[in-house]
Amino acid sequence: MGLFDFFRKNSGTDSPEELITKRWVPNSDGTYRDVVRKHDSDELAARFGVRAFETWFHRLEQRLGQSLGRRLAHAALEHEEYMIGLGGFPKPSGRDISRWNGTEQDWKSRGMGNYSMLEDGAEARILIENPASASLCSGFITGAWENATGKRHRFLWSQNTEEGLIVTLSLDDKSIPSPKRSAIGWPEPTSVISMPDDIEESWEDLRIDSSGVWSIMGERRMMVHRDLILRFEEFCLPYLQSIEEGRQDMQWPLEDEQQSIWWTAAADSMRETFFESGRHILVSKPEDWISIARRHLSIEGLGAVKSVKSIDAHGGVEIQFSGCFHPALAGGVLLACWERAHGRRGSLECTFNSGAVSLSLSPSVAIAE
């Protein structure tokens, strides 16, 4: 029985909360498995606070000195087309979007908001209420529309507080090839297993606020596949030249200079966003980092730590991941944790050793013994 069949069969017995928790299952590598999209690494996802994601995104724009909204939207469109092709939900079909039952279930369980048709003429106008992200939702709805109509479209979006997000779509004669699978540029665990016993802890205090909107501990959240982040990164790379502001001293085992720029900007944006959240981090011994990572990475699907060792007398540690959603995002969170724990600026160096991602966190300046 397919998962959509499960949704349809149990829609009268399972609560909306259960339909979310049964789709997104914790993995042993600290990510979430999307049980709809059973296709190796393409099913991996993480959970983001909607406001935190937007803050991270705007800080990324500031550090790179570029407007990235349309690149994120086009990455979302390409991602949506690719994920629809993997199956799991019935594909959207026809111009009557009220009949896209599979897409509706998908949006609700991802926390993207709700959509409806405003006008279907020479141009189609779709209203998205409570969008998790204007760029993401514009790309997602365009990808679904193109799949449903079998034709490419140009799209524009506008947003105001009264009407929500309005996406305008018009026919485009361009021929664009179907998206291919995203490449992952770091070591992956050889085997990952689902951890259904962790579901209750991972989804504690889940609340459904409205159609397509849910929160945890009062904060609106959404699920984002790693494939989307990788496509967004790829859309950004050709235009990158330097980091305009923020830190520039993070080290990555990458040959592509533009990719190193993106990873540094992404990590530093995540570091600042997490640091300002005001979390209290206490470290008394290196092994504490395993539980810190579980609390601040694994619970959100950003990865899990396998081992930790001390590298200096000032709190420096080398952390090896058992799995990682994206080294830059996970690294930014852990660097923020290190700086909050030790009250000083830290440095980050990432390496790929023994088939695993490792991070070294230490003081940014030498401290006298």
Say which CATH class 249-363 falls into.
alpha beta
SS3 content of the chain, % helix, strand, coil (to 5): 40, 25, 35
Task: Tell me whether residue 129 is exposed, middle or buried, using C-beta atoms within 10 angstroms of its C-beta: 0 to 12, 13 to 18, 19 or more.
Answer: middle
201 or 313: which leads in pLDDT: 313
* pLDDT band of 174, cuts 50, 70, 90: confident
* pLDDT band of 6, cuts 50, 70, 90: very low
Q: CA 42 to CA 225: how far, in whole Å?
A: 7
Mean local confidence (pLDDT), 134-153 = 97
> Is the pLDDT confidence value at 1 over 70?
no
Q: CA 280 to CA 257: how far, in whole Å?
A: 35
* pLDDT band of 178, cuts 50, 70, 90: confident
Classify domain 48-171 at the CATH topology level. Answer: Muramoyl-pentapeptide Carboxypeptidase; domain 2 (3.30.1380)
Domain ranges within the chain, ordered by starting residue: 48-171, 249-363
Q: CA 253 to CA 351: how far, in whole Å?
A: 6
Least confidently predicted of 118-122, 197-201, 315-319: 197-201
Q: CA 170 to CA 121: how far, in whole Å?
A: 9
> What is the pLDDT at residue 288?
96
| Cα dist from 146 to 86, 90, 176, 238, 305, whole Å | 16, 15, 11, 26, 40
Mean local confidence (pLDDT), 14-23 = 88
Q: What is the crossing angle of helices 327-342 and 257-275, to 10°?
A: 40
Q: What is the crossing angle of helices 101-110 and 3-10, to 10°?
A: 90
Mean pLDDT over each residue of the chain, to the nearest integer: 91
> Is the pLDDT confidence value at 237 over 60?
yes
DSSP strand pairing (164-171 vs 124-129): antiparallel
Mean local confidence (pLDDT), 217-224 = 96
Q: Do domains 48-171 and 249-363 have the same CATH topology?
A: yes
